[in-house]
Amino acid sequence: MAVRIGQPVIPKQLPSDQKLREDVRKDSRDTGKPAAGKSTGKPAAGGANAKARTEGTSAGAKPLMNEGTSAGAKALVNEGTSAGAKALQSKDGMDVGGQVGHQARLDGGQGLADKQDAKSRFQQSVRTGGAHVPTQGPTVSPFREAAVASTLEQSEQEKSEETPRGDSAREAMEGRAKLRAALMDRLLAGMKDVHGRLAKFIKNPGRLGVVNLSLVLSESSLTYELWKEPSTVPERRTRMAQTLGVPTSLGDNYLLKALMTEVHDCFEEFKASRPGKEIRQQYDEVLELYENAGVLPVMPGFDMGPMQAELKRVGLPMEKEFLQSLLVHPRILAVGLDAEDGEDPQVMVAGLPVAQLGTIVAQLRRLNPRLTNRQVLNLMILASTDLKKGMRKVLGKAEVENVQELAKQLLRLQGVELLYP
């Protein structure tokens, strides 16, 4: 009978084959030496086993001789119980004695069970690992993968940062334009408010001949309106820096200086704009009505609010142009900061607040009802000027008494003028 090695045939008597392997394990445990079993299921002596292998008379050994006795049986004898039990596993997870494992052991090379067992272990490790591992293609080092991933992430981050730069620049331009428009509206609304108050009062001015108006419309007052919250709230400060297009890391002095520059440019633009010129003309017209009615408006010439303290806190110089009110006019009496404030034809006096200065004007009107607004302004200039030293001075008690005396002397002169035309 021909023996074909390498082409194992599945034995038909599976129970006898299984019994044979059990006998082999039992004999190995008892003697410590590899042995072969017969088809009867009982342990056989060494001579009988040798005779069965050479002559092929045993029923259990006959299938092994037909399927490659010299290769399959030798493999079973040499590997022993523990190795055979571990290797003989079928595809569906059954233990030793399965049909596929028996066929694999009769194979002279890599058995089918070994291949399927290795495949099942590989698939199991892939399933338990939680990630898909490619079975084909070249492997890539994890350090290279990390480097590639880092490079891709950095490039994506750079791309994402380029867009915000453009967006921030556009947002800064839009924010600055909105801020300029808001300041223009605020200036126009402030001028209209003052004009409305004056126009309403002149309809029934009374007999005092004076009106006090404490409103101030200056660069410093509008700057403080915008700076009040950003100076205390970090979120608003960041938003203000983004609007002005300056870094948020700069100090308060730089940020406030940028805001002051923006407000100054807005004032200049408002003066040159058509709405600004129109409201200024209306303001001149209503003040002319006060001149004709003999009522003198008294207003602050400079902003005396908290912006001065804020400038001192951040270390910025205080310029009078920044504090001067836009409402200062040659037809009003303004309160200055220093005695030298006020350039002709504007009249400013220092030393008294608006309320006290208005009271003095009202007294002058009682002492001399014939005083015009221009005469009152001239008397205030004379009272606040040191004629010997040729310099201006602040108004005090002596200056107040002096201006009252000047008003009485002017009344006498006017009386003489009436007597001797």
Looking at every residue in the chain, the average pLDDT score rounds to 73
What is the sign, positive or negative, of the torsion defined by CA atoms of 400, 320, 343, 375? negative
Mean pLDDT of 233-243: 92
Residue 137 has pLDDT above 60, yes or no: no
**How much is the pLDDT for 203?**
93
Within 8 A by CB and 6+ apart from 117, the residues are: 87, 89
Residue 391 has pLDDT above 60, yes or no: yes
Q: Any idea of the CA torsion for 137, 138, 143, 148, to the nearest 10 degrees?
A: -70
Could you tell me the pLDDT band of residue 253, with boundaries at 50, 70 and 90? very high
- As to burial, measured by CB atoms within 10 angstroms (0-12 exposed, 13-18 middle, 19+ buried), residue 85 is middle
Could you tell me the pLDDT band of residue 19, with boundaries at 50, 70 and 90? low
Lowest mean pLDDT segment, chosen from 1-5, 182-186, 269-273: 1-5
What is the sign, positive or negative, of the torsion defined by CA atoms of 394, 398, 404, 405? negative
Short-list 379, 378, 370, CA closest to 418: 370
| Spatial distance between the Cα atoms of 153 and 308, rounded to a whole number of angstroms | 50
SS3 170: helix
SS3 324: strand
Could you tell me the pLDDT band of residue 125, with boundaries at 50, 70 and 90? very low
Name the H helices within 294-372: 307-314, 320-323, 354-367
Share of residues in the chain with pLDDT > 70 (%): 60
Distances 57 to 4, 50, 93, 356 between C-alpha atoms, Å: 19, 11, 35, 142
User: Residues 67, 106: contact at Cβ < 8 Å?
Assistant: yes
DSSP-derived pairing of the beta strands 385-386 and 391-392: antiparallel
pTM: 0.59
User: Residues 315, 224: contact at Cβ < 8 Å?
Assistant: no
- 89-115 residue pLDDT tens: 443 444 333 344 444 343 444 444 444
Mean pLDDT of 14-31: 52
**How much is the pLDDT for 22?**
57
**How much is the pLDDT for 21?**
55
Short-list 172, 187, 196, CA closest to 225: 187
Could you tell me the pLDDT band of residue 388, with boundaries at 50, 70 and 90? confident
**How much is the pLDDT for 99?**
41
**How much is the pLDDT for 151?**
45
Could you tell me the pLDDT band of residue 228, with boundaries at 50, 70 and 90? very high
Could you tell me the pLDDT band of residue 33, with boundaries at 50, 70 and 90? very low
**How much is the pLDDT for 34?**
46
Mean pLDDT of 139-150: 44
Lowest mean pLDDT segment, chosen from 121-135, 179-193, 266-280, 309-323: 121-135
| Spatial distance between the Cα atoms of 139 and 148, rounded to a whole number of angstroms | 14
Residue 255 has pLDDT above 50, yes or no: yes
